[in-house]
Structure 1
Amino acid sequence: MDLSQLFSLDHKVALITGASKGIGLATAEIFAAAGAKVVISSRKQEVLDGVANNLKAKGYEAAGIACNVGNMEELPGLVEKTVEKYGQIDILVNNAAANPVFGPVHETSLEAFDKIMDVNVKAPFELTRLCFPHLRKSSHASVINVSSIGAFSPEPGLGIYSVSKTALTSLTKVYAKEWGEAKIRVNAICPGLIKTKFSEPLWSNEKIMDFVMKQLTIKRLGTPEEIGALALFLASPASSYITGSIFTSDGGFNI
């Protein structure tokens, strides 16, 4: 048996949102190393161009397409430009997320609530739906939603963010159940505290870190590459009989 083929993404096209840094970028690089053509997306084209050029310099096939996923009107263009560039979409990673507030839930404004839900729930719903005609043509279609351990139990100071991630895990199961006959697998990853710019308000807070470290079995923060490796498993033929599953990568926080 050629085990390398189990994790190969040769001839596949992956669209990854929130991919200019952090978990999204690590996932893009790992996918590209596995043979995929990757489309990285975030809000600023100039940043994406620099990231895509860095990936190309390493010998990978990559393109950047700017899109604010919180603006539903921009999502069709992201799908259209991806297909125009590479002719297909086999893998979708809904990684982009927003959390403009940190503090008690009763201090969260409706404006912040709407932004969180638009980016964290509505965008994955709509982008996944828009990708359906292309995913159903693929021989190994996979959708991966990046949720959070907050989906299981609300994280302190991240109330509505946690609510949005609970909704995203439920959305994952809905798509998985309905799209099984189309041979499209849909799974979710729930990272714990990963050292990224996005999570800096948490890991830079001494009080929060003291609490987290007491809960962790593996006494350290996770890395974006560790989440990217799990995403590779879910995107590859190695997970061909897995759909509707929610995977935690949290250092044992929820044991």
Structure 2
Amino acid sequence: MDKRWSLQCMTALVTGAASGIGYAIVEESAGFGARIHVCDISETLLNQSLSEWEKKGFQVSGSVCDVTSRPDREKLMQTVSSLFDGKLNILVNNVGVLRGKPTTEYVADDFSFHISTNLEAAFHFSQLSHPLLKASGFGSIVFMSSVTGIVSVECGSIYGLTKVSRGRRFQGGIIW
């Protein structure tokens, strides 16, 4: 562990964390001592990842969650609040999906799917986490972005729209 900084006594929620970038975020954060709760839509991947993290001695728990479901998001935040005594230091809005196809082939369902998963879920998680972040006295919200939010790609225009570079920091009850 790098001795220059630590995440000891910090709590985090990472969405879409059973694989990919989310998995790597959990590995790094847990390695610096954070207690983390993760969610993923795949129970199989989630259980596999939780088992791997347990073997490494990381403090990681998890829940199955379909982030497109408002009730699932609310239930997840209740779980997080209970686990972390009503406080949260870090929210990582990582979950993201891509239905890659040429722009002219997208249909209304593709648009709704990307918006509900990549944008609406992140916004709602940010709202739901606000009281927990404020209660911690120090809170950060991380929105995972994508190069496709800056650079045009032939087969992911809606995905790019939902992943425009964004970043906010929560402090003192204000998100900016």
Aligned counterparts of 1:21 and 1:33: Cα–Cα separation in 2 = 17
Aligned counterparts of 1:79 and 1:114: Cα–Cα separation in 2 = 23
The match for 1:190 is none
Which has the higher Rg, Structure 1 or Structure 2? 1
Instruction: Please give the secondary structure, in 2, of the residue aligned with 1:136.
Output: helix
The verdict on how the C-alpha distance between 1:13 and 1:180 changes in structure 2, with shifts beyond 3 A counting, is closer
Deviation, 1:50, is: 2.3
The match for 1:189 is none
User: Which amino acid letter does the alignment assign opposite residue 55 of structure 1?
Assistant: W
Equivalenced residue count is 174
Instruction: Please give the secondary structure, in 1, of the residue aligned with 2:76.
Output: helix
User: Which amino acid letter does the alignment assign opposite residue 97 of structure 1?
Assistant: G
Aligned counterparts of 2:171 and 2:27: Cα–Cα separation in 1 = 28
Aligned counterparts of 1:43 and 1:103: Cα–Cα separation in 2 = 23
Q: Is the 8 A contact 1:40 1:52 kept in 2?
A: no
Structure 1 gap ranges (5+)? 185-243, 245-255
Q: How many percent of aligned residue pairs carry the same amino acid?
A: 25
Instruction: Please give the secondary structure, in 1, of the residue aligned with 2:135.
Output: coil
TM-score (norm 2): 0.90
Aligned counterparts of 2:106 and 2:9: Cα–Cα separation in 1 = 45
Is 1:95 matched with 2:94?
yes
The match for 1:23 is 21
Deviation, 1:86, is: 2.7
Aligned counterparts of 2:66 and 2:33: Cα–Cα separation in 1 = 27
Instruction: Please give the secondary structure, in 2, of the residue aligned with 1:15.
Output: strand
User: Which amino acid letter does the alignment assign opposite residue 94 of structure 1?
Assistant: N
Structure 2 gap ranges (5+)? none
Deviation, 1:103, is: 2.4
Cα deviation digits, residues 64-121 of structure 1 (max 9, x gap): 1111111122101111111212322110101101112x22212101001100011111
The match for 1:84 is 82
The match for 1:51 is 49
TM-score (norm 1): 0.64
Q: Is the 8 A contact 1:140 1:183 kept in 2?
A: no
The verdict on how the C-alpha distance between 1:62 and 1:181 changes in structure 2, with shifts beyond 3 A counting, is closer
